[in-house]
Amino acid sequence: MAPALTFTWVVRWLATAGAWAVLCGLGHAHTPPQLQLPLTTLTPPCPTHCICLSQSQVVCNSAALRGVPSALSPSVTQLSLSRADLRVLRSDAFAHLRQLRRLALDACNLTRIRPFAFRGLPRLRELYIQHTPLATVDAFAFAALQNITSIVLTHNRIAQIEGYAFAGTNFIKLISLRNNPVKRILAHAFSGLNDVSQIELPSGIKSIEPQAFAGLEGVGVLELAYMDLPSLLPDTFRGLMRVGRLALRESDLGIIRVGAFDGLQNVDTLEICNNKIDGVEELSLVQNNSVRFFKLTGNHMLDSPESVVLEVDNLVIRGNHLPCECGRDPLANPLALTQDFAEENYCISPLKVRGRSLASAASGGAGCRGDVGGSARARAAAGAGAPRTPRLAEWRLALTAATLALFAS
């Protein structure tokens, strides 16, 4: 090969090698940065109708949303679906969000919650369902919620809680059902619910079925207030166990039937306070009930109890208004089980002694002068049915009219 050709070939080879080196260097320098990031930092797009405040906080408050978004990141811990058009929650509706800790479903169009709708949420702590048209809490709707702190169901249209609605749900601080038109508590409505600190029930309850609280164990406070019951039925509290405080207050309890408190076990404090009670067939708290402290205060009883058996450790009977039966020793009342019973309780009838202590009315005998004996309800019935005695002025008027008629004739 001629020297000139050899020199030319070497120059071309060097130029080509240099060009490849420059190109490779430039390609490495301008590699897109996202290709160098680890795949774990990739963020999924935020679902339609949602605002992702972060990877863990998502707000989907849109009326156009008609279901639980399936494209949410599994790392979401706080989710709001308020004002969404969620009419029915199917079973396992949130199972793809196992890290969820707080869930709000306020002001959505929710009408039905299928059984086990919240199953698969082991870290859920707070659940809010408020201001919705939800009318019934179906059986097992809130079942199998482990480790939850609060279930707030206020300001809905809940009229009925079916049996086992909360079965298998444990260690809750609060279940609130306030401001709902609940009229009837069905049997076993709270069965399988254990170790709840407080249950808040709405006012206006008109019926509590026997064993309505059966299977409810370890409740700290159960308060039943502002009810309108025709009667407290037998076995109303049967199966209710390990209660810190059970309070029946500010209600019309109607007639307390025989066996109303049978089967109630291990109660620290039972309070019956500030109620209207038409009658008491039996008020029995035997040792099997294991009630430590019983308070009967501020009640208005139209009839004296027929039978009272109170085998409790501590007893307070104070501020109650009872019939003062004419000529009867107030200490003969079945409720006279405390030392100051006659001084600390008052007369509801007859009218002349209303508001006076039982002891004062008995010592004065004022209730016996011209008053019908018996209970307030009996006297009311007697007054309604008795013939009306003409007054003296009416006799004089009749006599004058007869005289004028005689002279006119």
Q: What domains does the chain contain, in order, with CATH numbers?
A: 76-371 (3.80.10.10)
Per-residue pLDDT of 92-125, as tens digits, reads 999 999 999 999 999 999 999 999 999 999 999 9
The answer to whether 247 touches 224, Cβ cutoff 8 Å, is yes
- Determine phi and psi for 126, rounding to 5 degrees: -130, 130
pLDDT score recorded for residue 264: 94
pLDDT of residue 240: 95
How far apart, in whole angstroms, are the C-alpha atoms of residue 292 and residue 271?
Answer: 11
pTM: 0.75
pLDDT at residue 402 above 60? no
> How many of the other CB atoms lie within 10 Å of CB of 132?
22
Secondary structure of residue 367 in the 3-state scheme: helix
Average pLDDT score over residue span 155-162: 95
Q: Which among 282, 284, 246 is positioned nearest to 267, based on CA atoms? A: 246
**291-297 and 276-280 strand pairing:** unpaired
Q: Report whether pLDDT(203) > 90.
A: yes
Tokens encoding 393: 């002025």
In this model, does residue 70 exceed pLDDT 60?
Answer: yes
Check: CB of residue 260 under 8 Å from CB of residue 234.
yes
- Number of Cβ within 10 Å of residue 286's Cβ equals 13
Q: Give me the percent of the chain exceeding a pLDDT of 90.
A: 66
pLDDT category at 298 given cuts 50, 70, 90 is very high
Residue 231 confidence (pLDDT) above 80: yes
The first and second tokens of residue 70, run together, are: 């399936």
pLDDT at 18 over 70: no
Cis peptide before 69 (omega within 30 of 0): no
The distance of Cα 353 from the centroid of its chain, to the nearest Å, equals 40
Kindly report, residue by residue over 330-344, the tens digit of the pLDDT. 888 999 999 999 999
Distance, in Å, from the CA atom of 62 to the CA atom of 66, rounded to the nearest integer, reads 9
> pLDDT category, 144, cuts 50, 70, 90?
confident
Residue 40: pLDDT band by 50, 70, 90 thresholds?
very low
pLDDT at 171: 86
CA-based torsion, 329, 335, 337, 340: positive or negative:
negative
Q: Taking 70 as the threshold, does the pLDDT of residue 22 lie above it?
A: no
Q: What angle do CA 25, 28, 30 make, to 5 degrees?
A: 110
Least confident of 297-306, 378-387, 400-409: 378-387
Q: What is the CA radius of gyration of the chain?
A: 38
H-only helix segments in 30-123: none
| Residue 405: φ, ψ to 5° | -65, -35
pLDDT, greater one: 10 or 155: 155
